[in-house]
Amino acid sequence: MIERQKMRLLVNPFRDPEAEFIPLNPAVSAFHRSVDGYAPTPLVMLSGLADELGIARVYLKDESHRFGLGAFKSLGASWALHRLMEDGVTPQVVSTASAGNHGRGLAWAARRSGIKAVVFMSDSTADVRIALIRGEGARVVVVPGSYDDAVEQCAAVSQREGWQVVSDVGYDGYDVIPRWVGEGYGTIIDEVAAQLSESNLAPPNLVVVQGGVGCLASAVLSHTGVLGPRPCTVVVEPEEADCLLSSAATADGSAAPSMGSQVTTMVGLNCRLPSTTAWPVIRQHTDVFLSVSDDEVHGMMDQLATPQHGDPPVASGSSGAAGVAGLAALCLDPEFLLGREAVGLTSETRALVFSTEGPIDAKFLDAP
Ligand SMILES: Cc1ncc(COP(=O)(O)O)c(C=O)c1O
């Protein structure tokens, strides 16, 4: 057990090199394009960082610009709600558990459709995140305990009250909507494909994505086939909340809890258990799992915000910068040689990373 806690990198024994890609559903990006305020988020080239890491390219998809909500999560929440309504279900109340971003995205999508939203959040959530969700008109229920406790509480109360759960995490008996949420994230890859092709850029041969419950990673990894030949893939988690790495370290590859303390500033990635819908996809598609410390991520946030080598600045939050921090660790950490070999890292590597959130708005941090 002590060994498991210390493991920071695992070459995935369950990787299936023939794993099928899931085609993008064109209705998803058509829907998002029809939403007021839609604009593709920037795909930024970080050539200075690529030089520093000894690779050819770093393409960074900056999701902090998504619908003015600071993170990618609105894509999944809005598509899932749209799908429900397409199926003839217009709930009076939608609910979810959230560390912040999915709840904000759902509250925003619900408000646009005139639907009430209730968001269950851990009592360790920063006030600013609660304020942002209330700012979208949602009710916030503060739950003693962790994010995972909030997921349980949301399921129980919603069943009792007849509320429609619209969650990004799948669990026993609840899987259709989390799949729709993941399908909604397909717009990110659709945009990347268009942006690479418009600029005549070679596709990535390495995709690095951060994981919480894994809904984003499963969506990204299962769609990378649209970008070009199958890339190598890395999933990055916080050292103290590494449920995906822990699951890949089990004998049979079944979903397993993180053994970490779950104390991390990467709140969007701070989950004890993988999503039941995401884990089987991630298990097939991932070459390497690795974890990063809060210090590594904070260093990367600073580096992205004030780049030294002529790169454009990128404002990234803690969970947002985890993927890039993971890429840097993969390239530079003396202990990660096995990982570099597993993904065939060379000076020809073209890495795609995702800054999944911006820093929280300073004006809210000052709020009483
Ligand atoms: C900013 C940010 N990045 C990444 C993730 C990870 O997404 P998932 O939980 O689908 O793995 C989250 C989840 O909340 C997040 O808020």
Domain spans of the chain, in order of start: 2-71+185-365, 74-173
CATH 3.40.50.1100 is right for the domain spanning 2-71+185-365: yes
Atom of ligand 1 nearest to the CA of 214: 11
Q: Evaluate if residue 364 carries a pLDDT over 70.
A: no
Residue 277 CB–ligand 1 contact under 6 Å: no
Ligand 1 pocket, residue 107 CB under 6 Å: no
- Which residue out of 236, 314, 356 has the highest number of ligand 1 atoms within 8 Å of its CB and is therefore the one to mutate? 356
pLDDT in the model for residue 37: 97
**Which tens digit of pLDDT belongs to each residue from 109-125?**
999 999 999 999 999 99
319 lines ligand 1 (CB under 6 A): yes
pLDDT more than 70, % of the chain: 96
Q: From the CA of 243, how far away is ligand 1's center (Å)?
A: 13
| Residue 274 CB–ligand 1 contact under 6 Å | no
**Residue of 106, 244, 269 to mutate, ligand 1, most atoms within 8 A of C-beta:** 269
| pLDDT of res. 367 | 38
- 366, pLDDT greater than 50: no
* pLDDT at residue 6 greater than cutoff 70: no
- 7-23: per-residue pLDDT in tens? 899 999 999 999 999 99
Give the span between the Cα atoms of 203 and 56, in whole angstroms. Answer: 12
pLDDT at 359 over 50: yes
Say whether pLDDT at 240 is over 70: yes
266: CA distance to ligand 1 center in Å? 9
Topology at the third CATH level for domain 74-173: Rossmann fold (3.40.50)
Q: Is 211 in the pocket of ligand 1 (CB under 6 A)?
A: yes
pLDDT tens digits, 263-303: 999 999 999 999 999 999 999 999 999 999 999 999 999 99
pLDDT computed for residue 308 by the predictor:
85
Residue 217 in contact with ligand 1 by CB distance below 6 A? yes
- For the Cβ of 218 lying below 6 angstroms from any atom of ligand 1, the answer is no
Region 100-104: mean pLDDT is: 97
Mean per-residue pLDDT, 62-73: 97
The fraction of the chain above a pLDDT of 90, given in percent, is 95
If you average pLDDT over every residue of the chain, what do you get? Answer: 95
For the cut 70, the answer to whether the pLDDT of residue 361 exceeds it is no
246 has a pLDDT exceeding 80: yes
| Residue 142 pLDDT exceeds 50 | yes
Residue 309 has what pLDDT? 86
Q: Which of 45-49, 59-63, 135-139, 306-310 has the lowest mean pLDDT?
A: 306-310
Residue nearest to ligand 1 atom 15, measured at CA:
268
Q: Kindly indicate the confidence band of residue 360, based on its pLDDT and cuts at 50, 70 and 90.
A: confident
Residue 365 has pLDDT above 90, yes or no: no
